[in-house]
Amino acid sequence: MNFTPGKQKGLKAVSDSRGVIAAAAMDQRGSLKSAIAKEKGIDKGAVTAQMLEEFKTAVVRVLTPHASAILLDPEYGLPAALARSKNAGLLLAYENSGYDNTRPGRLPDLLDIWSVRRLVAAGADCIKILLYYTPFDPQDVNEIKHAWVERIGAECISSDVPFFLELVGYEEGADEKGIGYARKKPDIVARSMAEFSKPQYAVDVLKVEVPINMAYVAGAKACKGGAAYTREQAKEHFLRAATATKKPFIYLSAGVGNDVFSETLELAGESGVKFSGVLCGRATWKEGIPVYAKQGVKALEDWLADQGVKNIKNVNDRLKAATPWASL
């Protein structure tokens, strides 16, 4: 891959010494509010900005010595960005939390008072947006999303900063944790990766879901019931998705636990796909939410220093199979 000097500088800033992206994610906003509220037994509206900043700062301070970068949001994450380890680069999210739920299509929106230029001025080495996407949505819905990504890609070109596009698949009205969606997921992931690899989007790195659900891989530790694919079929799905793009891609953890994500990365490595790392959040720190909610920030820091560090090291150990983005 050929990158401009600015984009190359940004990618190096969020990579480890091998050129692999071993990044942690802490840009959750609405979902983090909901989780803290649930564990505290309070209304979501009672979760303050100070609580979010405190939680994020603790995660960043303890975990970034073991990460190549941290992904944060500019709404609550900028104080935490100052607490990161010197080895860790900074990605900033540009999208509003959640999506427009007043109409079908899970349409995205950008943060009102931010631009790519402003995010770079705030210290961003790279820009990230999240897009809920399925190639099976009506054309008018996807045309809105295509144009939206094109505009952001153009902004990133103007500021010469790397553009990370996070793709999350879905199906309206479906149980996205069920076996029916698990059978459709490989096609959704592969076709989405192919679409946003087109040059008009100017995406530099795709942040993608794994193309299978480990809960339905026969013989996997995470599989508790029926299977949607054999282990060999699962590896074929990894390879098919990987061949849909020539761009660097990294995996997100999609909210699964550390054991499941570690097993998933082992399967990715076994399949031989050339993924360039990870950008995962909840697989490392989500079990710390009840600790924080019930015992406070000091207890969270203690939990992170023990189990949180173990979790991120588990993920890092699986990145030996990753391919540096610069060698693609």
Structural domain boundaries of the chain? 5-327
Q: What is the pLDDT of residue 101?
A: 86
Class of the CATH-defined domain 5-327:
alpha beta
Residuewise pLDDT in 10s, the chain (328 residues): 789 999 999 999 999 999 999 999 999 999 999 999 999 999 999 999 999 999 999 999 999 999 999 999 999 999 999 999 999 999 999 999 999 988 889 999 999 999 999 999 999 999 999 999 999 999 999 999 999 999 999 999 999 999 999 999 999 999 999 999 999 999 999 999 999 999 999 999 999 999 999 999 999 999 988 999 999 999 999 999 999 999 999 999 998 999 999 999 999 999 999 999 999 999 999 999 999 999 999 999 999 999 999 999 999 999 999 999 999 9
Q: What is the pLDDT of residue 102?
A: 86
For residues 38 and 213, give the distance between their C-alpha atoms in angstroms, rounded to a whole number.
26
Q: What is the pLDDT of residue 78?
A: 98
Single-letter amino acid, residue 81: A
For residues 90 and 13, give the distance between their C-alpha atoms in angstroms, rounded to a whole number.
8
